Structure 1
Amino acid sequence: MTADRFTRRDFGRLAGFVGAAALLTAPQGTARAGDRRAWRVAGPILHGLEEFDATVMAFMEERSIPCGSLAVARDGRLLLARGYGRGARATGPTSLFRTASVTKPVTAAAVLRLIQDGRLRPSDRMTDLLRIGTAADPRLAEVTVARLLRHLGGWDREVSGDPMFDDVAIAKALGRPLPIGPDDIVRYVTARPLDHAPGTAFAYSNYGYLLLGRIIEKVTGRPYATYVRDAVLAPLGITRMRLGRTLAPAAGEVPYYSQYKGTTVMDSSGAQVAAPYGTFNQENNAFNCGWLATPVDLVRLARVYDGVTPVLSAGSVAPALAVPETGARRGRYYACGWHVRQTGRGLVTWHSGSLPGTHTLLVRRFDGLTWAVMFDQRDDPSGEPYRDIDTALHETADDMPGWPAGDVTHP
């Protein structure tokens, strides 16, 4: 097994296991007696899908991930909703995880709903909506809602860094104590020139989604989370999702783990803290990385982009997933809140998320399959890449001889 590629077929080669079949026949919520490493697995699953359990547990075992969760749906039917905990850690399908950048499809859906309702236009200028001046760079007037959605606003974190995670430098530049707030970030960034002319280069921008969240609040006159709950989540029956907090876990939220520590950005003490708890400000990142959710919530949310829910019509979804004005390369591009890959059979759309203590992935496929997987860790001494869960789950799905009928009870 190499560090650059992990597949579900590696499961049987992992030392310490008595075999996938034996492990997966253990009663739900327990590990098989005699296993060297105890597992706690909970949640409903349709018969024939046990290989998904094997894939996720092998991945977690190799990287010593404490808690994970997976949901798989097909054509809107929930096929499995599982929580995986190592040792004494109990994780279920209703456990909440930080979504990290899988928040972006949520924010994008809210913006698209405002466009669908005629309250916002893709061509509306960010500077007009938020009354931001252009003295630092006249090109700011060319930043539109459509360009913010597609990371074409002109900010490039590879050139100037990511202001959403540069609290200390911003506080110093503005002469303010920590913690800083979203207004401080906007003030700091808009006083600096853009890295690219808007619309000319794709550059992933967390800051662009901060501006979209502010636009939602400006247009609706309501807090971002309130509008998202009412216009996007409630029509889908999603009730558990909420914005996370840096230092105050929500009821049912998993703990987060990292091998690293860093300096807190929540005050000016200079204290060293566990990386997931204070080396970044979760509240400032509400619009781009802020939601807590379960995988079941995320696969329900993804259904919005099928154009079959009350949230977005098919007529709204089609242009949202269309090829952007620039940034497409070999059939891949970033649409509104989704990475997109064109295939001969249709589109595959996905978004991953990564924060200290968090790795997440949400995938929609042309064959009606959707899955979400969430972990409470993104680094460990093994050095194995966490992005490989994408390949592993695609292989598991592709090797399925058929899909069971039915729908598990929604947890």
Structure 2
Amino acid sequence: MKKTYKSEIFCFVAHMLKFTKLMTLAGLLIFAGCGKDSPPATKTGTGTVVDTLAPSKVAVVALDDEVNTFMTTYNVPAVSVAITKGEKLVYLKAYGTSDKSKGTKAVISDRYRLASLSKQFTSVAIMRLLDQGKIKLDDKVFGDGALLGKTYGTKAYGPHIADITVDELLHHTSGGWGNEVNDPMFSNPGMTAAQLITWTLDNRPLDHAPGTNYDYSNFGYCILGRVIEKITGQTYEEAVKTLVLTPIGITDMTIGGNTLAQKLSKEVTYYGQSGEDPYAYQISRMDSHGGWIATAADLARLLVYIDKFPVRTDILTPSTLNIMYTGSTANAAYGCGWGINGNNYVHTGSLPGTATEQARLDNGFNFVILTNTRSWKSNFDYYLDQIFWRAYAKNPTWATDDLFIK
């Protein structure tokens, strides 16, 4: 029986093994130079129009075949795909039905729950604060003189809690509160984030000394959201928009609602499988680890501004990008919110009704895949990832124009 507290696990080891195999099959990393349902033009912080997105006009048959096979095999109502090559948006397409009850055709402006792809936005926001000199990664989080002081908790802190640093939360090495022993984020659904942090500090001691053990923790990223709020004086959502989204021209992202009645404009409907209820979770409380909704193009835009490639100026300094994409002594294959495989950086997300993936690849491609369901049928995650790699292995012809710029 599947346990609900593992609803947003990033299955890192399995994914990295899968990723290595697929990279080999694909021929490994050769660098290459991407109407009515279009969203409004996005703008930079200075008000300059950057683009008006449009769906791809010429099909990449190999990719379309893989998407359609995946959707049929796993009963997936809708998929949205964005692919960049050489920092150009070379493919942007929506497939299927965003709302089955209304028969609504999926379009590229549809917004999806990102689940754990939200963590990368939290990480980039922290890295922006690092570049601005407003935070240090070795800053302590709890206790006298720490970033959050004693705002949370009603008892004296347990062993090592006052030793936890920002760096350790980013790398999932805080010493506890992870998926190995029931991530607290999936407990106490009636509590606010602040109440949950207090409850956890009072009732859940650490399992290890900070920095010594990797354990993927949604709760750790919930704490990072509160750190961002403390430093900026803004809500987490406002701060990420100020630090990350507005500077690169993303205007359509927001934190999602919990119930079907709270579904936002241009948001898809989510469908559970195997008895799962997509609307039973506190998505808004998950803000900094799993609460964002966005289009595939939004994520593709983020990737081209943090990918270390030279066409577009990254929003983080080279040294800070290296920090973000470097693992810990406890797990060299997980950086600050990113899985690491050589010079490739990937992450997946999973909740009832949601499965997502984004990847920055050293072959000059980046890809984003968003869906409005998840399946427990065999190899679902594997074949979600294979959508891009199987198409790539067929060496299709990609567009040379840039769908970011119209």
After superposition, residues 35-184 of structure 1 pair within 5 angstroms as: 44-45=55-56, 47=58, 49-86=60-97, 88-127=103-142, 128-132=146-150, 135-167=156-188, 179-184=190-195
Can you give the 5+ residue segments of structure 2 that lack an aligned partner in the other structure? Answer: 1-17, 23-35, 38-52
- For 1:277, which of 264, 276, 279 is the aligned residue? 279
CA RMSD of aligned residues (A): 2.5
Distance 1:236 1:54 in 2: 32
- Residue number in structure 2 paired with 1:375: 371
Q: Name the amino acid aligned to 1:339.
A: G
Change (3 A) 1:80 1:158: closer
C-alpha contact 1:70 1:373 (8 A) present in aligned 2: yes
Say yes or no: does 1:219 pair with 2:237. no
After superposition, residues 341-352 of structure 1 pair within 5 angstroms as: 341-342=341-342, 347-352=343-348
Instruction: Measure how far apart 1:313 and its partner are.
Output: 1.7
Instruction: Measure how far apart 1:322 and its partner are.
Output: 1.9
Distance 2:393 2:326 in 1: 26
Distance 1:161 1:388 in 2: 27
What's the CA shift string for 1:248-306, capped at 9, x where partnerless? Answer: 01101000001355xxxxxxxxxxxx61112x111110110000011110011112322
Distance 1:359 1:117 in 2: 34
Instruction: Measure how far apart 1:392 and its partner are.
Output: 3.4
- For 1:238, which of 250, 256, 281 is the aligned residue? 250
SS in 2 for 1:69: strand
Change (3 A) 1:375 1:48: closer
Change (3 A) 1:65 1:100: same
Distance 2:160 2:186 in 1: 24
Change (3 A) 1:410 1:155: farther
What's the CA shift string for 1:78-108, capped at 9, x where partnerless? Answer: 0111111148331111100000000010000
After superposition, residues 193-208 of structure 1 pair within 5 angstroms as: 193-208=205-220
Say yes or no: does 1:355 pair with 2:357. no
SS in 1 for 2:345: strand
- For 2:272, which of 237, 253, 258 is the aligned residue? 258
Q: Name the amino acid aligned to 1:359.
A: A
Instruction: Measure how far apart 1:47 and its partner are.
Output: 4.0
Distance 1:224 1:158 in 2: 24
C-alpha contact 1:46 1:408 (8 A) present in aligned 2: no
Change (3 A) 1:80 1:284: same
Instruction: Measure how far apart 1:188 and its partner are.
Output: 1.4
Distance 2:242 2:300 in 1: 18
- Residue number in structure 1 paired with 2:221: 209
Q: Name the amino acid aligned to 1:83.
A: A
SS in 2 for 1:126: coil
SS in 2 for 1:73: strand
C-alpha contact 2:80 2:94 (8 A) present in aligned 1: yes
SS in 2 for 1:361: strand
Instruction: Measure how far apart 1:384 and its partner are.
Output: 5.0
- Residue number in structure 2 paired with 1:15: none
SS in 2 for 1:85: strand
* Larger relative contact order (Cα-Cα within 8 Å, sequence gap ≥ 6): 2
Can you give the 5+ residue segments of structure 1 that lack an aligned partner in the other structure? Answer: 9-27, 30-41, 169-178, 262-273
Change (3 A) 1:129 1:313: same
- Residue number in structure 1 paired with 2:395: 400
- For 1:314, which of 307, 318, 342 is the aligned residue? 318
Q: Name the amino acid aligned to 2:235.
A: P
C-alpha contact 1:43 1:80 (8 A) present in aligned 2: no
SS in 2 for 1:259: coil
Distance 1:187 1:196 in 2: 19
Distance 2:55 2:140 in 1: 47
Worse-matched range after superposition: 56-65 or 95-104 = 56-65
Change (3 A) 1:389 1:310: closer
Worse-matched range after superposition: 299-308 or 131-140 = 131-140
What's the CA shift string for 1:135-171, capped at 9, x where partnerless? Answer: 3423112211111111111114344301111125xxx
Distance 2:138 2:323 in 1: 13
TM-score by length of 1: 0.78
Change (3 A) 1:109 1:158: closer
Distance 1:311 1:210 in 2: 23
SS in 2 for 1:167: coil
Question: Would you say how many aligned residue pairs link Structure 1 and Structure 2?
Answer: 343
SS in 1 for 2:250: coil
Distance 1:357 1:158 in 2: 20
SS in 1 for 2:284: coil
Distance 1:326 1:46 in 2: 46
C-alpha contact 2:327 2:336 (8 A) present in aligned 1: no
Distance 2:105 2:61 in 1: 19
- Residue number in structure 2 paired with 1:387: 382
Say yes or no: does 1:326 pair with 2:330. yes
